[in-house]
Amino acid sequence: MQKVAEILVGKMRAHSLIDSSDSNIYEYGIKNLIYIGINLLWAIGFAVYLGKCIELLVFLFTFIILRSYAGGLHCKRKFCLILSNIIVLLPIFVEIKNNFVSLLCVLISMVEIAFFSPMENQNKKMSMDEEIRYRKTVHITLAVCLCILIIMLSLGYFRLYSSMGVAIILVCLLQILNIFKENTVKKLKGLMRDKCL
């Protein structure tokens, strides 16, 4: 992937499409685009094979919008990124059976997402205006999702309800993992500081 990204960035520089100072940023973006493309192709192939393309679309639409604005844990290693994308896409093929328990889990996840969003990423710090806009977008998205979930449940579209519900729960879990990671890092830094004193 690194070689492909380097070749593409080299061609972009040769055609004066980008500045040399931005090469690393473009390489990083192209590598991530390739990884995401591979994972999407894998998921689409799997969904076509199982006949669950609509479930995949519902899952991806919900997950991508919420994840983009809510934030959460981000992997730095490429293997971790690939593995997490595979794990994230697998639950769309699992149908939730117990409607009350699943609805309760989804509602709790929605409250958690609304409360902790947006989460800053160490790669991208937000201004106060961005934070307000992102929080508003998350709250509107969650309200729309709740309405759609209620409609799906009342009409008996349990497979679509399940796909959207799993996406919401996964966003919540990624936020919880991010909180856990940040607290662990803070504790480790505090221990290291105490040892130095």
Residue pLDDT, tens place only, 141-159: 999 999 999 899 889 888 8
- pLDDT of 107 > 60? The answer is yes
Q: How confident is the model at residue 80, as a pLDDT?
A: 63
User: What is the 3 state secondary structure string of 59-109?
Assistant: HHHHHHHHHHHHCCCCCCCHHHHHHHHHHHHHHHHCCCCCHHHHHHHHHHH
Rounded to 10 degrees, the C-alpha dihedral 67/77/34/163 comes to -30
Residue of higher predicted confidence among 86 and 50: 50
Q: How confident is the model at residue 136, as a pLDDT?
A: 93
Q: What band does 113 get if pLDDT is binned at 50, 70 and 90?
A: very high
Q: What is the mean pLDDT of residues 53-63?
A: 87
Q: How confident is the model at residue 86, as a pLDDT?
A: 66
- pLDDT of 195 > 70? The answer is no
